[in-house]
């Protein structure tokens, strides 16, 4: 799947952000309009955040060894309806229509996210042409996992680009949305 980085429609492509220290470490950061969040950044991942003039915060994690890239947009807008599954599905559909059109999946297959705090949903899309990572060009991936996570005070839309949704390396970063990206 190509990596168009289409995040919440409002946000234009933000330049790739790079982190320094690549050892596993906890991170606390301010997102949107003052929401303090925390997450554990796995070893080997760069970590960077940037907030635009609209209060949207982009969090970027990358691991070039495992060829996994994560983009999370955190919105300062929050309403009670965002806690509902239908709203979460709608935001995923709205933001991932291009992925569905480019994938071998014919429709959205939603899975519950089941985070420790909050709620969410996600879908997996697969490149229809590539059979193995070796078939891909640089910057392309076999899978993109897209989803929404909502906790009190923060609405997140995430994309995880990867080549193996069954690998321990993928699971480690996916688990950030179960156990991390939570209130500090």
H runs (alpha helix) in 60-123: 85-102
pLDDT mean over 39-64 = 93
- The yes-or-no verdict on residue 10 having pLDDT over 80 is no
H runs (alpha helix) in the chain: 85-102, 168-174, 176-179
User: pLDDT of 128-148, one tens digit each?
Assistant: 988 888 888 888 899 999 999
DSSP state of 12: P
- Beta strands (DSSP E) in 34-164 are 35-41, 46-51, 57-63, 68-75, 111-112, 119-126, 143-151, 154-162
Q: Which residue has the higher pLDDT, 24 or 49?
A: 49
- As given in the structure block, the two tokens for residue 161 are 């680009």
pTM given for the model: 0.86
Q: Which domains does the chain have, with CATH numbers?
A: 25-183 (3.40.1000)
């Amino acid at each position: 799947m190509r990596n168009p980085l289409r995040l919440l429609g409002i946000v234009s492509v933000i330049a790739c952000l790079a982190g320094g220290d690549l050892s596993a470490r906890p991170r606390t950061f301010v997102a949107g309009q003052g929401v303090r969040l925390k997450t554990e950044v796995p070893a080997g991942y760069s970590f960077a955040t940037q907030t635009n003039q609209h209060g949207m915060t982009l969090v970027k994690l990358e691991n070039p060894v495992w060829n996994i890239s994560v983009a999370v947009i955190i919105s300062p807008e929050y309403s009670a309806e965002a806690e509902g599954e239908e709203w979460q599905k709608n935001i995923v559909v709205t933001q991932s229509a291009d992925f569905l059109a480019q994938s071998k999946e014919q429709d959205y297959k939603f899975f519950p996210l089941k985070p420790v705090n909050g709620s969410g949903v996600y879908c997996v899309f697969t490149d229809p042409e590539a059979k193995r990572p070796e078939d891909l060009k640089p910057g392309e991936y076999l899978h993109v996992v897209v989803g929404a996570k909502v906790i009190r005070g923060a609405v997140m839309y995430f994309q995880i680009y990867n080549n193996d949704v069954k690998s321990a390396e993928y699971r480690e970063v996916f688990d950030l949305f179960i156990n991390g990206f939570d209130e500090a």
